[in-house]
Structure 1
Amino acid sequence: MAKGRGARRGRATTTAAVLAGAVTAALAAGCTSGGDPADDGRAASRGPSRGTAQTTASVLAVKIDNAPAARPHTGLEAADVVYVEPVEGGLSRLMAVYATQFPAAVGPVRSARESDLELLAQFWRPTLAFSGAQGKLKPLLKDAPLRAASPDQERDGYFREPGRAAPHNLYVRPHRLMPSAPGADALTTGFRYGAAPAGGRAEHTHTVRYPAARFTFTWSDSRDGWLVAMDGRASAPQPAPATVVVQYVTVRESAFRDFLGNNSPYTETVGSGRATVLRDGRAHDVAWKRPSATQGTSFTQADGAPVNFARGQVWVVFAQAPGKG
């Protein structure tokens, strides 16, 4: 893996190029609605995707602390999509995306990362709630096709919880950042919802491990979802996403480091690879593809047929693809 200054400059240039392309495509395209995640499941429904009909609907994305001291989380169960990302020290962080409903508060809120910009470019000018960012990342955030809503920009939208120790005590009030939830049309993820795909294998429990974190998803008939345990512990309220995606991606070094000098991992979400989709107590080995940063991600079976997700919350766990580390 290249570690010199030239490699780091190249990666920063790549990010800038991705953002420039995202800005151009966003101004020219907008979003279209091709279905509702809350469809009745009788027919496959494609989630909204970018097209020619412009809309001002934009999601709220919140960066959420996932260190053990940050749990239990607040407002996580109301998210439409939760992305799990690797960060420094082998730990994890969450990005919760809200479109159909806003909870009263979400948190604890933590800082943004470089790969968040690529991930968020699939949405039309999303609002990103985060606690701050490394100095060199701030210009990229400023130029990205999103609304940065940190406490510096939106002081009235945040509060400190006195019963928790810093830095795990910062929370955001979504209704102070946006007047209302934008609705399902803002979820331009590329996901499809409908009847379960054929095949797969029965699977009651599935665990994803990071170097210093792990997630276990256990199927619950009573909740009609996958109970989430983090580092072996469940929290209350316990999320139970209807669909869990373990998406195998390239996780490489970024151009940035934390205050301790640890490199911040960059999760590449544009490209293609393999994934495991968990729904209805079964596991399906599928392929994923995201052609560009301004597009959502499609999931297909071996014969090319699209994979439908179950109605309800979706968790996407980014894991290092074998042989890519």
Structure 2
Amino acid sequence: MRAMTRLFHAIALAGSTALLAAPVAAQDRLSVVATTGMIADTARAIGGDLVELRALMGPGVDPHAFRQTRSDIVTMARADLVLWNGLFLEAQMEDFLLELGENSHVVAVAESLPQDRLLAHEDYEGRFDPHVWMDPTLWSEVSLTIRDALIEAHPEGADTFTANTDAFLSQLEELESYSRDVLSSVPESARVLLTAHDAFGYFGAAYGFEVVGIQGLSTASEAGLNRISDMVDMLVTREIGAVFVETSVSDRNIRALIEGAAAQGHIVAIGGELFSDAMGEPGSYEGTYIGMIDHNATTIARALGGTAPARGLNGMLAE
């Protein structure tokens, strides 16, 4: 694996040689590459006009399985700053990113969180659940790490980055307050969130929901027939009426649960589609970090018997 990573790194360096050989105009903006949309959107909000930002993973992309292409390698090698989640989220990229970080400015933003704030990873001993963006309070702390990384890479922009961060943190406070209000309206007996994979652990810890994923924390974890059967029995026994699909994970297992419950005379509905490991389409409200979490909180609350406005926090702010 290390040998292959070195080969990719060599390709990246070779690909940039031609550009370095010819004179180019000075770049006014900091070139930043982020792995996930959540990191990219946050860095864009903080960086503002001083940053030219590219996200490697778009809507519907599973970061657990994502592998960098040759063009991705070249892009990261040329960037002034590379931001990745870490905590083994980008499992297939980790060796490359660690090696790139030996000679470039590369920051694993979620790994700045204290370990006592992290949840254990059930699939990999000694690792932690990487889905920290599901809790806006934790993401506020990650945002500070992103701010500091931008300042280190471009000290001249410190005042702008700091002011933009303060504004973004205020938005996160509004988001967290809204999420807490609407999710607390869900009856306690109905606070069971069943999804395709276990990406909502931090959400559950923050808002008092029992979280059940058919697959483990990584989408690479397989759900066997016994697991599906046990979960069907749980749906029927506990009279759970809604389950949720995810935009970045196949709904095959969710459909199997619904069919299994129906065979036992229990009707289960799809409560909605949630954004877990990827955001919505670029240019859409759900294509922002604020929008994806707002959408999730609103969808979950309404599907499980709580009270939430049809247009969520976005609708409230627009009024």
TM-score (norm 1): 0.30
Structure ID, larger Rg = 2
- The higher-RCO structure (CA 8 Å, 6+ apart) is 1
Structure number having the greater helix percentage: 2
